[in-house]
A and B are shown apart, each in its own frame.
Chain A
Amino acid sequence: QVQLVESGGGVVQPGRSLRLSCAASGFMFSSYGMHWVRQAPGKGLEWVALIWYDGSRNYYADSVKGRFTISRDNSKSTLYLQMNSLRAEDTAVYYCARARAPYSSTEHGSDPWGQGSLVTVSS
């Protein structure tokens, strides 16, 4: 079955870096765009970034642009989120999610989602 498993979360000090991974299985990873979405404790969903199926295009939320980098390794079926210059307001559960439709059709929502990885930015 289709599965997404995030890892790499934890507690990190402000200003430091962290890299999240999302291991995909059960589908042709190289055919799908992938998103990162986060949710601060007790708050709503915030879209973070999108990468096209072939890595040719990336898009970011204004709140993370210049600090976070989304990337993928299609040979390993793995999505990454490199997070630099972390701030307290980056504290959240980070979800990876697959675009619902393959290739460049990233406009039709995200399904499925991983279980999430908690990142806590605190001194």
Chain B
Amino acid sequence: DAKTTQPTSMDCAEGRAANLPCNHSTISGNEYVYWYRQIHSQGPQYIIHGLKNNETNEMASLIITEDRKSSTLILPHATLRDTAVYYCTPSAGNTPLVFGKGTRLSVIA
């Protein structure tokens, strides 16, 4: 069963902000929203996670709506190396991760 809904694909101009939305309306109270990305058949790379407050790290920012039913991952200045499939997933930490189809982000020069 799909736990998340994400756009199939998105384009972003190099140097601009990439905003990737995710709907996770069935998220449980003890689950965080995790974001990973996967570059062409490499292992998924952890990006960021959050519970209900907005989060920022060196890679990205995460905005979570007050009702926690959706979130947006923001890559502030996208580069060609950010081209990847991005997955959001609710997770209670060390439990099996479930990825949906993800969003294929193409950063265009």
| A-B complex is real | no
A residues bordering B, Cβ < 8 Å? none
